[in-house]
Amino acid sequence: MAAPSNLRSFITVGEAAEVLGVNPITLRRWDAQGKLRAFRHPISGFRLYKREHLMEILTALNERA
């Protein structure tokens, strides 16, 4: 997957897990299953999640409740 152009709009697995209220392992599993799209840091290869996308997910979940 291509590297994101603006890394400031992305957060790490740990930060994303905290935002969504799940374990970081869950995010890695969702990525492997294709449920949640992760980008890769261009140097380290670590997973990064777009902050805006996570907020959209939370909004959608709150609307369902």
pLDDT digits (tens, 9 = 90+) for 5-47: 577 889 999 999 999 999 999 999 999 999 998 999 989 999 9
Token pair in block for residue 14: 């740990």
Asked if residue 7 lies in contact with residue 41, where contact means CB atoms within 8 angstroms, the answer is: yes
- Name the phi and psi angles at 40, rounded to 5: -115, 135
- Taking CA atoms, 19 is separated from 7, 34, 50, in Å, by 18, 19, 12
pLDDT at 26: 95
CA neighbor of 31 nearest in space, from 43, 16, 21: 16
Interhelix angle 24-33/13-20, rounded to 10 degrees, is 100
